[in-house]
Structures are given as structure tokens and as C-alpha cells.
A and B are shown apart, each in its own frame.
Chain A
């Protein structure tokens, strides 16, 4: 694989990704000053996830790795999601029972 350069990112790709990240940074900062109610957080998170995906896919070269790596990443995120969903299931439903508290 030493002579095979197809698994090496070109400078153009890397710089383009960097510029995209800059644009998204500007966007998330600008949009934060607009009152969109609960949508503000959703948009901020959506932009952050997009930026993170760009870094993972291009800078971290996951596009050149075996399929196992995306599985590992998504698996890790799944268990983080479990922590969020199940714990919020507790906090979100605490007042429902109405046993006088």
C-alpha cells in the first residue's frame, strides 16, 4: 500500500473541508442570535453533528477504512443514546404517577 496513493487525501480535499468547517462555524454563531425557540438548540446540534461528520469522514480518513470502523463509531454512539434515552425516561415521567408528590 506504500505506493498506492489512492488512500491519501489530497490537499485540495483537506482545505475544502477546512473551509466548510469555517462556514459552519460562522453559521452556528450567527444563527444563535436569532430566536427560534426550541429550534435554536436543534439547529446548533445539527450543525455540530454535520461538522463532526466532516471531520470523521475526511480528516480522520474513515472513508478509507474497513466497514468495521463506522460500525464501531455508531455502536459507541448507540450506547450513549441508551444513556440519554433511558435516563430521560426517568426524569421525563417522574411527575406522571401523581401519588401526592
Chain B
């Protein structure tokens, strides 16, 4: 991060180095063909220079076996190499996109033009994220307005941050230090200022840092408080006069809709059902739930969804999730 002129970016995760390896393969492949063509043009272009004004070239028969072999070679060899590039690249991409099971979830909300971060314990930061070294970190991200993009060059991954839909970014930092965070998707006037820092700290230092900043959950209400404040509990609890689907243990289950379709209750489904309850009605219920669009913020929604996800499954005998 010194203002000299590096030619290659630092890497701060194992996956970043996998990307670099892939890049060097692609680079070698590209250099080979670029140099090959340049050399051939220079050699052939000078060897077969026109000697006298009326000279014409010697036509080569396209149908000669040698010509056909040549065409076959320069069609199939690049194609084979490209398939390797595809396979390898797709494998790396799947690793980049799928967080490991032991990843700790942090939350990121993007808005014009800042990043709002939240730690698992509720600690909040703006444009900065402190994370412990060696811990897989999974960011659940959403935007409050336009499309943004979370980009940390040291981790070699971009992921768009969309309005109304959660996307996931993950990394496992293996180098302490401060790394650039950029908004990688053009997002309006101050796009270039929507930048920040990822600070990777030794786990002990991270604990000290957490203890040093305002502890606990900050001014934001917890999911449980929101669940009660918004009167979700009056319909959606096993002990309420069940006019609505019971949410306990619903997360990850398949839910049957009134039109016969089934939907897996994931984060996005829970979020959509809070904001847009009429879009898809669970079989057996009336469309009576009001929308909470504009009533709760994206950050509160993250809390609320988290709370619903962790509701314990109902005791035996109670009517469960459909």
C-alpha cells in the first residue's frame, strides 16, 4: 500500500493465489499465441516481399491434405486449450462463490455511496471491516438503492450487491494488513469515493479491537425486538391463534404454495415474504398479511431474517411448517 508503482497485486488469501495460478496459465497460453503470430507475420512478411511490380503470390490449394490438416490443427488446438481454461476457471469460480460451512457471517449493506458493515456481535463500521486472520468470513450483502459491487483486489473477487436480493461474498484472509475495498459496479456520482478498507488482524488483536469499540449490538434493535415490535408474533408463533404459517424451523424447508408450486424457504424467501407477502401465498392460508415495505430498513431486515432463521423447530404435535 505504499505509493510506489507495483506491477502485481498483493494477495491475502489462498484462493487469491489460485486465481493467480490460473492467470499465469492463461497468460502463458496468450503469450505463446501472440508471439507466434507476431513472429510469423514478421518472418513471412519479409521473406516473401514483392521482388518486382508484376509478381503475384502462389496460390495454395485449400483442398490439399496439408491445408486441411493445418486448418484442423489451428481449429482444434486452441479449442482444446480453451476448454481447459473453461474447466479450470469454472472450478475456481465455484470455490470463489461457495463459502465453507465454518464461515462466520457478517453483514454488508451498500448505499450511495458508503459501505455499512456489521459484525456477528452487532458491532457496526462504516467503509471499514476488521476481520480476524485465518477465519473464513462470509458476507451477506444487500443494497439499499442501486447495484453496487464488493471488490477486494487482494482477495481477487468481485460480487455485485443488489437491491432486494442477498448475495454472498466470502474470503479467508491469510495475511494481516490493510487492503483496498472498492465499489466495482458503477453506482452514480460518487462511485469513485465508495471505497474502504479491509483490515485483517491477528485473532487476538481482533478480540481486543472488538472490545475496544462500542461493545454489543449498537443502536440497532435485535431481530427478536423487531419481531415483537412489528407484531409478527401475533400471527406467526405456535402460541398465536394460527392465522399464519408457523415460522419455527421453517428455514431450509420446502414450502407448498397455493398454486401447487414449492419454494425452499431460504433467506431471500423470508425477506420477500416480509416485504411482499401477497406474491406467493402458502397453501391453506388467506392473503391477509400487510406489507412491511418501507417500514423496516435493509439493516433491520437482515436482523429479522436472521431471527426467523434461528427460531427453534416446534415441539412434537404442534402444527409445523408446510
Residues of A in contact with B (beta carbons under 8 Å apart): 37, 95, 97-101
Task: Give the shortest distance, in Å, between B114 (CB) and chain A (any CB).
Answer: 23
Q: Closest residue of chain A to B94, judged by CB?
A: A97
Complex CA gap A98/B268 in Å reads 11
Inter-chain contact A101/B98, CB cutoff 8 Å? no
Task: Give the shortest distance, in Å, between B63 (CB) and chain A (any CB).
Answer: 28
Inter-chain contact A101/B138, CB cutoff 8 Å? no
Q: Closest residue of chain B to A37, judged by CB?
A: B260
Given A99-B98, A101-B267: 20 more A-B contacts, CB < 8 Å: A95-B264, A95-B266, A97-B97, A97-B98, A98-B266, A99-B97, A99-B99, A99-B168, A100-B99, A100-B138, A100-B166, A100-B168, A100-B266, A100-B267, A101-B140, A101-B166, A101-B167, A101-B168, A101-B266, A101-B268
Q: Given the complex, which residues of A lie within 8 Å of B138, measured CB to CB?
A: 100
| Contact of B140 (CB < 8 Å), options: A95, A97, A98, A100 | A100
Complex CA gap A100/B168 in Å reads 7
Q: Closest residue of chain A to B170, judged by CB?
A: A99
Task: Give the shortest distance, in Å, between B60 (CB) and chain A (any CB).
Answer: 33
How many residues of B are in contact with the other chain, CB < 8 A? 15
Complex CA gap A14/B97 in Å reads 59
A-B contact count (CB 8 A): 26
Q: List 13 A-B contacts (CB under 8 A).
A: A37-B260, A97-B97, A98-B266, A99-B97, A99-B99, A99-B168, A100-B140, A100-B166, A100-B266, A101-B166, A101-B167, A101-B266, A101-B267
Q: Given the complex, which residues of A lie within 8 Å of B167, measured CB to CB?
A: 101
Task: Give the shortest distance, in Å, between A44 (CB) and chain B (any CB).
Answer: 17
Task: Give the shortest distance, in Å, between B265 (CB) and chain A (any CB).
Answer: 11
List 6 tightest A-B contacts by C-beta distance, closest first.
Answer: A101-B166, A99-B168, A99-B98, A101-B267, A100-B168, A101-B268
Q: Given the complex, which residues of B lie within 8 Å of A37, measured CB to CB?
A: 260
Bitwise interface map of B from 131 to 142 toward A, beta carbon under 8 Å scored 1, else 0 = 000000010100
Task: Give the shortest distance, in Å, between A99 (CB) and chain B (any CB).
Answer: 5
Complex CA gap A5/B17 in Å reads 75
Task: Give the shortest distance, in Å, between A98 (CB) and chain B (any CB).
Answer: 8
Complex CA gap A95/B98 in Å reads 13
Q: Given the complex, which residues of A lie within 8 Å of B264, measured CB to CB?
A: 95
Task: Give the shortest distance, in Å, between B94 (CB) and chain A (any CB).
Answer: 8
Task: Give the shortest distance, in Å, between B11 (CB) and chain A (any CB).
Answer: 22
Task: Give the shortest distance, in Å, between B309 (CB) and chain A (any CB).
Answer: 10
Q: Given the complex, which residues of B lie within 8 Å of A100, measured CB to CB?
A: 99, 105, 138, 140, 166, 168, 266-267
Complex CA gap A39/B76 in Å reads 45
Complex CA gap A100/B98 in Å reads 9
Q: Given the complex, which residues of B lie within 8 Å of A95, measured CB to CB?
A: 264, 266
Q: Closest residue of chain B to A95, judged by CB?
A: B264
Q: Given the complex, which residues of A lie within 8 Å of B266, measured CB to CB?
A: 95, 98, 100-101
Q: Given the complex, which residues of A lie within 8 Å of B260, measured CB to CB?
A: 37
Q: Given the complex, which residues of B lie within 8 Å of A97, measured CB to CB?
A: 97-98
Complex CA gap A69/B167 in Å reads 46
